[in-house]
Chain A
């Protein structure tokens, strides 16, 4: 048994390339258990690539990712899928599929030839749909849902997978303000109510500051800064990482740092 202070996932000297282009360079990052870690940074900084590498969707050129001290490259496909779930940036499924059919697919890694649909699968399915508030939609076809509903259904699928680690790649893209908050409140619930470790890629710095326990700024395939939102969201850091001159104040409602961009500063 690993003790609770050790990181759930440890990214160790990870390098990763697409062809000859190096996207990540010897990056190390411990990801704490039971916390929300948010990866942020300018376009092309490698944050989505890092998230996908954590789920073993890209093969590292050097270094590795360790889950509870086990190198994830040594795990089987289904074994890994029982440990780490990932919601893709723009997932897609057939429009005539029903909500329940999609959420059921989250149980795929728990099933096998000798162990088809079990009571465990059924209860995981129910609690995932109840937890995301989509139970009433269960027989609806995906094509008939709104964007916000659809995103909740996808989160339900990842939740049904019952992984200790949940990765979400820009889950609030294309959602309106209310649905962005709904979605991230749901993500926070994954942590609070289900004790999941969450890794999130977010573009919106203010949302990142509001929901992150641990914030990581990436730039040019390396970590530019990492820490609590309070420590990280400084005017110097924002200028250095995002090339934006900004004012940072404290959000009077949530007591979190709030960034007000002024103008870009390109060297």
Chain B
């Protein structure tokens, strides 16, 4: 398909976005409805609006809804981070995972859990600081990747290679911190590392939402300047985009989004890779449509993955991150093979 009238392309893009919104809505509601007891959609809406009987209110508001809301925020946040990274590196293989940001955040959280827990496995400080630890870790990782790439920071391949290396080092350090800590902290950290949205509470959701939403707004504001980033560095700069500075801003936004997304749910992999890639296939090149579609698709992936582990493994609580990894890793290989065909 080499030719497509712009009206047809716009039409298709709007249709895709509509379909994504519909899937997102139905899936989110179904996940709340589904469980040991089925709760019909109209009753869920009723409960959210303040009606319903007591047990139903507890099931929806305390058990099921927090999980879904957190999955939406975290999946969406990681996907938007991936969108920004793929756009600024001009490479569909870039993602928070590949660039070492997730493992950096993971290391931050594990060190936080190891250093600030007391003997009875309770944190000596507020859990609200966990995102701070994740953010520090994520920023250190991305800064390291950036500095190691040096003057060639504009080369996507160099960034990806250093990203993978930094991720490996962060992973190793994470294991060491888990081994030298007491066993109960290791279990706690291990659950976090696999990535799971069960056991989240409204307090954690509040912290995540308050931190993520302003960054989303910043990402949407920065999006206006994203189109020239599709060009090579010289061309982008000659149409007036200060790419070296803008690149740092985008990397910082992506690192912060990733860290806040994974701070409580844990290191869910591959969403930041798959969602933006799929978004581009579905809605095309428009950056605003791309950001919104990435967010919704990321949310769909994590909500869906959580739904799958609940259906397949109940009553065991298997982390949702295992599902995203099982689907995401082959997807990454598929992209890699497609790239090789293009290059060769």
Q: A residues engaging B (CB < 8 A)?
A: 52, 55, 57, 77-78, 80-82, 84-94, 96-98, 100-101, 105-106, 108-109, 113, 139-141, 143-144, 157-158, 161
Q: List 9 A-B contacts (CB under 8 A).
A: A55-B238, A57-B234, A85-B239, A88-B238, A91-B235, A100-B6, A105-B239, A113-B224, A157-B239
Q: Is B343 an interface residue (CB 8 A)?
A: no
Q: Which residues of B contact A144 (CB under 8 A)?
A: 2
Q: Are B238 and A81 in contact (CB under 8 A)?
A: yes
List the 3 closest pairs (A to B, CB-CB), nearest first: A81-B240, A109-B240, A88-B234
Q: Are A139 and B241 in contact (CB under 8 A)?
A: no
Q: Which residues of B contact A84 (CB under 8 A)?
A: 238
Q: Are B234 and A139 in contact (CB under 8 A)?
A: no
Known contacts A77-B240, A88-B235; A139 and B3 CB within 8 A of each other: yes
| Residue picked from A82, A84, A85, A96, most chain B C-beta under 10 Å | A96
Known contacts A88-B234, A92-B231; A106 and B239 CB within 8 A of each other: yes
Expressed in whole angstroms, the Cα–Cα distance for A52 and B238 within the complex equals 10
Q: Are B234 and A94 in contact (CB under 8 A)?
A: no
Q: Is B40 an interface residue (CB 8 A)?
A: no
Q: Are B231 and A139 in contact (CB under 8 A)?
A: no
Expressed in whole angstroms, the Cα–Cα distance for A93 and B235 within the complex equals 9
Known: A98-B4, A158-B238. 12 other contacts (CB 8 A): A55-B238, A80-B240, A81-B240, A86-B234, A88-B232, A93-B230, A100-B6, A105-B227, A105-B230, A108-B239, A108-B240, A161-B239
Expressed in whole angstroms, the Cα–Cα distance for A244 and B22 within the complex equals 71
Q: Are A93 and B231 in contact (CB under 8 A)?
A: yes
Shortest Cβ distance from A163 into B: residue: B238
Q: Is B237 an interface residue (CB 8 A)?
A: yes
Interface 1/0 per residue, B212-235 and A, CB below 8 Å: 000000000000100110111011
Q: Which residues of B contact A97 (CB under 8 A)?
A: 230, 285
Q: Are B242 and A77 in contact (CB under 8 A)?
A: yes
Expressed in whole angstroms, the Cα–Cα distance for A84 and B240 within the complex equals 10
Known contacts A55-B238, A78-B240, A106-B239; A94 and B4 CB within 8 A of each other: no
Known contacts A86-B234, A91-B234, A108-B228; A140 and B239 CB within 8 A of each other: no
Q: How close is A161's CB to chain B, nearest CB, in angstroms?
A: 6
Q: How close is A166's CB to chain B, nearest CB, in angstroms?
A: 10
Expressed in whole angstroms, the Cα–Cα distance for A81 and B238 within the complex equals 6
Q: Which residues of A contact B2 (CB under 8 A)?
A: 140-141, 143-144
